Amino acid sequence: MKIIVTGGAGFIGSNVVDGFVSAGHDVVIVDNFFTGKLENINKKAKLYIMDVRAEELKKVFEIERPDVVDHHAAQMSVPASVANPHFDAEVNVLGAVNILQCAVKYGTKKIIFSSTGGAIYGEASVIPTTETYPGNPLSPYAITKQTTESYLHFYAAHYGLQYTVLRYANVYGPRQVPHAEAGVVAIFMEKLISEGLPTIYHFDDKPDGMTRDYCCVKDVVRANTHALMAGEQQIINISTCVETSTVQLYRTILESLRERGIAKDAKFDNPHKGPARAGDIRRSCLDNSKAAKLLNWHPEYDLKKGIAATVEHFLR
């Protein structure tokens, strides 16, 4: 299968490219290196250094004629979307529309879109949260993701373009950077490896910090591979369905580092505590039974195993 992966130089996209290449697919990357890195590029993939908003994108589609586009390119920082909603909307909405127009013109059959369960549901009153829970975006970033989902619905209805929306929980793992949705994993690791003491932000009613659903990127790659052949016209959570507090996450990372002789000092048992930051969602945990049913997908990495794989990467 010929697949264009946008954002294939980034954290999740590059892992997805590696998964597709290993499965024998013909992969083309489109990335403008806004946050992506050359060292993440799979040498067996073809690379176009290009902005997804660019007029010339159609030339890439004309030459490559992809069967599938797996769209990962995005402005993915929530605080940056609040600071500059214009830029956020340009990249995330107009970039997606440009891709959809090219897809229709050049016969692409399917779009896989990386959306966000961590941000679209807002402060959900139902935990674990299913895909039917009404969207309540609390940031421009989440609004652009929800808007792109609506565009996909339109392009499917109007042009017959197939799609699968994958609403990721908080994704962590090898190649992750500190400013992403699950950036706290990278922040704790970098701080502890350099023998610094991290800060855990807590709410008055949640002294262990907020809770998140931490999904390992290796499982996210498998979800994308399964979505090549299934989940047509569906929105599907990709998550562990396990709610983990920031303190639990911190302890898991600390334990994993200590097994490798790092952060042994007793001071690391008591990280700094700071007040909750404005805009932080208290709880997030996504139901994943739809992914099991429609994609035959189940997470294989629990937090301990996923953190161990991530620690290996950070130490390298």
Ligand X SMILES: NC(=O)c1ccc[n+]([C@@H]2O[C@H](COP(=O)([O-])OP(=O)(O)OC[C@H]3O[C@@H](n4cnc5c(N)ncnc54)[C@H](O)[C@@H]3O)[C@@H](O)[C@H]2O)c1
Taking residues 109 to 148 in sequence order and writing x for each that binds ligand X by CB under 6 A, - otherwise, the string is: -----x-x-x------------------------------
d(CA 164, CA 224): 9
d(CA 124, CA 136): 8
- Of the two residues 47 and 193, which places its CB atom closer to ligand X in the complex? 47
Instruction: Pick one of 4, 5, 27, 52: the residue that binds ligand X (CB under 6 A).
Output: 52
Smallest gap, in angstroms, from Cβ of residue 95 to ligand X? Answer: 5
Smallest gap, in angstroms, from Cβ of residue 166 to ligand X? Answer: 8
CA angle 159, 161, 166 (to 5 degrees): 140
Strands 170-172 and 162-168: unpaired
The answer to whether residue 88 forms part of the interface with ligand X (CB under 6 A) is no
Beta carbons within 10 angstroms of residue 179's beta carbon: 14
Phi, psi at residue 300, to the nearest 5°?
-110, -10
Q: Are 163 and 154 in contact (CB under 8 A)?
A: no
The answer to whether residue 174 forms part of the interface with ligand X (CB under 6 A) is no
- Is residue 214 annotated as part of the catalytic site, yes or no? no
Helix (H) or strand (E) holding 80: helix 78-83
Question: CB under 6 A: which stretch of 7-15, 78-86, 257-265, 295-303 binds ligand X?
Answer: 7-15
Instruction: Pick one of 19, 81, 88, 95: the residue that binds ligand X (CB under 6 A).
Output: 95
- Of the two residues 21 and 258, which places its CB atom closer to ligand X in the complex? 21
Residue number with the smallest Cβ distance to ligand X:
10
Residues facing 114 on adjacent strands: 166
Beta carbons within 10 angstroms of residue 35's beta carbon: 18
Beta carbons within 10 angstroms of residue 43's beta carbon: 6
Instruction: Pick one of 20, 42, 51, 189: the residue that binds ligand X (CB under 6 A).
Output: 51
Spot the catalytic one: 133, 141, 168, 172: 141
Q: Write out the residues near ligand X by the rule CB under 6 A.
A: 6-7, 9-13, 31-36, 51-53, 72-76, 91, 95, 114, 116, 118, 168, 170-171, 177, 180-182
